[in-house]
Amino acid sequence: MNGIMKYINRIHRTGGVVYSSKLKDYGIAHCQHPYIILICREPGIVQEKISREICVNKSNVTRQLATLEEKGLITRQQDMEDRRVWRVYPTEKMQELLPCVRSVMREWNEYLLEELSEEERETLVQLLEKVAKRANEAAQNTLSGRDKQP
């Protein structure tokens, strides 16, 4: 069996090319769309949770949030109970971008699945969810120091 990561990585990289092309007019890089989706879904989310949710190290999250803040897409506020924690909120400008980002994601998803039957789509999604859950468990174990994967 060929390694599945070859195909997953290719889909991810080609998706980045498509997202970059379709989002460039909005000043959004392809790696920023997960931040937009997550922050709009959970206004006031803490930076650490963003790191866990999208599996990106904290320094990358800090860098991306600084960029989004410079573009006027987010605001960061210190938590009133724990001054070490920063909460992230979408601005109106980010809320206005959200439908565009979702549209690009939906179009790409539809394009990728276009040649699959409904049954194949359902099977693919179920299998990918299973693999993603296992991958997430490995990442969380690694981040918490309980490295149990090969």
Give the residue with greater pLDDT, 147 vs 102.
102
The residue written with tokens 């960061």 in the block is: 76
Structure tokens at 9: 């990585």
Question: DSSP secondary structure string, 63-107?
Answer: HHHHHHHHTTSEEEEE-SS-TT-EEEEE-HHHHHHHHHHHHHHHH
The predicted-structure confidence for 57-92, as pLDDT tens digits, reads as follows 889 999 999 999 999 999 999 988 888 889 999 999
Whether pLDDT at 1 is above 70: no
Confidence class of residue 109 from pLDDT cuts 50, 70 and 90?
very high
